Amino acid sequence: MAPRSPAPLSSSRALHLVAALLLTAPALLAAQDAAPRHLTVDDLFRVERVGSPQVSPDGAWIAYTVSRTSLEEEKSTTRVWMVPAAGGDAVPLTAEGKSASSPDWSPDGRYISFLAARDGGETQVWVLDRRGGEAWALTDVKQGVGGYAWSPDGGRLLLTIRDPDPKADEEKKENAPRDPWVIDRLEFKRDGVGYLTGDRHTHLYVFDVATKELRQLTTGRWDESQPAWSPDGTRVAFSSTRTEDPDLDPNSEIWVVDAGLVEPTDAPTRLTDNPGADTQPTWSPDGRTVAYVTATDVKAIWYATSYLAVVPSTGGEARILTKALDRNPSSPRFSDDGRWIWFGLEDSAEDQVARIHPDGSGLERPVAGPLSAGNFDWAGGTFAVEVGTLDRPAEIHRADGVDGGSAKLVRLTHANDAWLSGVALGETKNIHFASADGTEIEGFVCFPPDFREGQKRPVLLRIHGGPVSQFSHSFNFEAQMFAADGYVVLYTNPRGSSGYGQAFSQAIFADWGNKDFQDVMAGVDRVLSQGWGDPDRMGVGGWSYGGILTDYVITQTHRFKGAVSGASEVLYVANYGHDHYQWYWEHELGLPWQDGNRATWERISPFNRAQDITTPTLVMGGEEDWNVPIQNGEQLYQVLRRRGVPTELVVYPGQGHGIRVPSYQKDRYERYLAWYGKWVKGVEKKPVT
């Protein structure tokens, strides 16, 4: 059949068509304008950090937190929300701009509780009726509350409270200077706290919800933490370092105290007797067993693998359940029927949720794969977990079918959907490669959003802190920011990292900047061998141990055109007695004044090879950092400036090891981009100040 000729347009139809085209043209142009853009520094303040899921006793709702950082208001705030476990719209429970944390449900499911400091007061436990209405302060503790937990019957709260400041009510004359710090202990400062003076400690209290009576359970010259109610509400297990001098022997053990005490005790019942740290106690449903996390190799300090262990709640022989696993567990919790112990598990760049029988058999990993699973909770047949991936910050998920050994994840929250929908992210590949001695190393490569195979882009090697930590299958804002600026970004887990067993982590014991240097450089060579990067345009950098390893890199190679050394160390003996790591320095390197030890301190100090540095280096840190004091950065800057190597020193006023002020966070990232742009790309770009 011959095709039908189109009917001629009438003048009126033609006018309508023209009008329609005129109306739709702006929409078409807007659609083109709305094409995904590249991520920028300011997107840091669009990310919503979701976490702390808590399932209501009936399993119908999940409470959780959402944290945001405001550049305009120069602060971060956290709100409590809840979402139906079956899926649906999330509901905000606390007010915008007023921080709240640690949400939980009363055992009857009627109330949601949280910690908050309101109207200039101290932190208290607040509650609100989930059916609606205003929240009110349940506690009124003068010095504030550090943490809390509902008793199983809902009639009491277990509180952690620090001793009051005896000078808090003293009247000060106008313009009076601060009192001098008077110190008489071995560990005398801590990052984020400052000088450690006085004799104030954190103890356990029981608060009666009906009568508002507050009873102190523990006392003495020690601190208690991580308390957990027994299922019948008669006892409390907790972790505490109750050695003769906790600064010389920081070994924590698991203890139990009677929850009905009328007068506080300084002699609770000791459950564990292990030279390493015992932490995170949790009770079996029948109250006969306490599970906990233990470290047994004291000499390996922070490189040691932790294990899951159990001990009778009345005392007796402890048993380690995960010795053969050689991976770090966290947050153990018995299943409701007592047949399983659930826990978080760090394994080869994954953060998983695993479970094992109390006799150590039947290890399963129901939440695993290329993801990063964080806090989890369950009740009423609902299992909730926070999960992040390489292309999305963590959100709350429901994990279906966990009892089958492999869960199906259903995402319930969508806090970051809006801004992610307008951003073109770079692809991130998980890679494995051999180091110089054949050791397999894992890492990630984040590509520019417009990357095409065959291109050779400038390369950035970014190094994680720790050193005992790991890059995981989680959203890496920093890597995406650099990728959006045109870099191929390599970030790896060199030896020293956790997640790969104790031998892998302990390989750098008293030997920093050797095997881990070989590992990260092997990663660089892998990127170049794939044709992804330009060997003549490479940069390196990191913060904390990432900055430290950067210092090792630029003293041993001239392959990098630009470096950023953030919160790093260079002359280690100068840190002894100046940072807060006295105990760790002594156990890894020995007392620096004793024969034979000083050579080790000097051998691994990058300062002693600073004459070999030619890489233009941006040096950064916080003014009040007692973790890695800015003195280190000043020393590195001084030697570079003295030798004529291009350098700048950036010190953030009032900041500790972590840079908290939002405008400083923005400034830091802009300086990263400007420094790498100038020295790696050869493009002059001034940071916005």
Mean pLDDT throughout 72-77? 94
Residue 443, SS3? strand
Cα–Cα separations (whole angstroms), residue 478 to 484, 498, 625, 673: 10, 21, 22, 11
pLDDT at position 447 over 60: yes
Mean pLDDT throughout 176-191? 88
Task: Determine the Cα–Cα distance for residues 74 and 115; give it in Å rounded to an integer.
Answer: 22
pLDDT of residue 357: 98
CB 488 within 8 A of CB 458: yes
From the list 518, 517, 622, 510, the residue with the least C-alpha distance to 572 is 510
pLDDT cut 70: percent of the chain above it: 94
pLDDT at position 445 over 50: yes
Task: Determine the Cα–Cα distance for residues 339 and 533; give it in Å rounded to an integer.
Answer: 51
CB 275 within 8 A of CB 249: no
524's enclosing H/E stretch is: helix 515-529
Contacts of 88 (CB under 8 A, 6+ apart): none
Mean pLDDT throughout 283-294? 98
Tell me the pLDDT band of 602, cut-offs 50, 70 and 90. Answer: very high
pLDDT of residue 15: 34
pLDDT of residue 404: 84
Tell me the pLDDT band of 685, cut-offs 50, 70 and 90. Answer: low
pLDDT of residue 235: 98
Written as six digits, the tokens of 529 are 């061998």
pLDDT at position 29 over 60: no
Q: Which residues of 603-631 are buried (b: 16+ CB within 10 A; e: fewer)?
A: ebbbbeebeebbbbbbbbbbebbbbbbbb
Structure confidence by residue, pLDDT tens digits, 609-644: 999 999 999 999 999 999 999 999 999 999 999 999
Domain residue spans of the chain:
37-138+370-423, 424-570+605-681
Residue 206, SS3? strand
pLDDT of residue 551: 98
Note if the bond before 467 is cis, omega within 30 degrees.
yes
Where would I find the beta strands (DSSP E) of 117-196?
124-129, 136-137, 147-150, 156-162, 189-190, 194-195
Higher pLDDT, residue 18 or 450: 450
pLDDT at position 507 over 90: yes
pLDDT of residue 689: 55
Task: Determine the Cα–Cα distance for residues 280 and 286; give it in Å rounded to an integer.
Answer: 18
Contacts of 11 (CB under 8 A, 6+ apart): none
pLDDT at position 182 over 50: yes
Written as six digits, the tokens of 626 are 């007692």
CB 621 within 8 A of CB 630: yes
Tell me the pLDDT band of 186, cut-offs 50, 70 and 90. Answer: confident
Mean pLDDT throughout 588-593? 95
C-alpha dihedral sign at 205, 335, 91, 397: positive
Mean pLDDT throughout 147-175? 91
Mean pLDDT throughout 357-376? 97
Tell me the pLDDT band of 316, cut-offs 50, 70 and 90. Answer: very high
pLDDT at position 489 over 60: yes
Task: Determine the Cα–Cα distance for residues 40 and 688; give it in Å rounded to an integer.
Answer: 13
Structure confidence by residue, pLDDT tens digits, 569-585: 999 999 999 999 999 99
Task: Determine the Cα–Cα distance for residues 149 and 105; give it in Å rounded to an integer.
Answer: 10
| 223: region left, alpha or beta (phi > 0 left; psi from -120 to 50 alpha) | beta
pLDDT of residue 11: 36
Tell me the pLDDT band of 509, cut-offs 50, 70 and 90. Answer: very high
pTM of the model: 0.92
pLDDT at position 187 over 90: no
Number of H helices, E strands in the chain: 10, 40
Cα–Cα separations (whole angstroms), residue 683 to 108, 260, 587, 646, 686: 62, 69, 46, 15, 10
Mean pLDDT throughout 141-161? 97
Ranking 25-34, 107-116, 328-337 by mean pLDDT, the lowest is 25-34
Average pLDDT over all residues of the chain:
92
Structure confidence by residue, pLDDT tens digits, 369-407: 999 999 999 999 999 999 999 999 999 999 999 988 899
C-alpha torsion 7→11→16→22, nearest 10:
110
Ranking 89-98, 392-401, 564-573 by mean pLDDT, the lowest is 89-98
pLDDT of residue 134: 87
Tell me the pLDDT band of 17, cut-offs 50, 70 and 90. Answer: very low
Pairing, β 289-295 against β 278-283: antiparallel
pLDDT at position 157 over 80: yes
pLDDT at position 275 over 60: yes
Mean pLDDT throughout 412-417? 97
Domain 424-570+605-681 is found in CATH 3.40.50.1820: yes
Contacts of 138 (CB under 8 A, 6+ apart): 113, 124, 125, 126, 127, 157, 207, 209
